[in-house]
Homo-oligomer: A and B are copies of this chain.
């Protein structure tokens, strides 16, 4: 797991562009270090990026609940930070992670499980757990 010093965090946060999405957010993709699968796309504000870098666990900002959200805080299915990469415009993050359990609250390993095929969504996901057993 990778953690960053407060000086480094301050530096990085100054270099990132949080101005493009209402509420000072940037999109964050997490990618599985072993399979290269995309696990989730969610949004982070400065505080969520700071928490991610300080703790070594992915944090997002939930717009619906208006709060910082540690990914996997209810299920225990955390994402450990291995590397953080930003793009040419420095307005989005790609976090390479070790996924504990599964990323999707519906029990799939990745949130991206609906393939567009023959006019409908085809479920291509790998089911890892039953949400009824995990969220009580």
Contact = CB atoms under 8 A, between A and B. Distances in A.
Given A11-B119, A86-B121, 14 more contacts: A4-B116, A7-B119, A20-B63, A27-B27, A29-B29, A31-B38, A36-B36, A36-B37, A38-B94, A83-B115, A85-B112, A85-B116, A87-B113, A88-B111
Interface in A93-124: 94, 104-106, 108, 111-116, 118-121, 124
Contacts of A130: none
A86 B15 contact: no
A12 to B, nearest CB: 6
Contact of A114 (B31, B63, B87, B106): B87
Nearest to A38: B94
Contact of A113 (B88, B106, B112): B88
A122 B29 CA distance: 19
A41 B115 contact: no
A92 B119 CA distance: 18
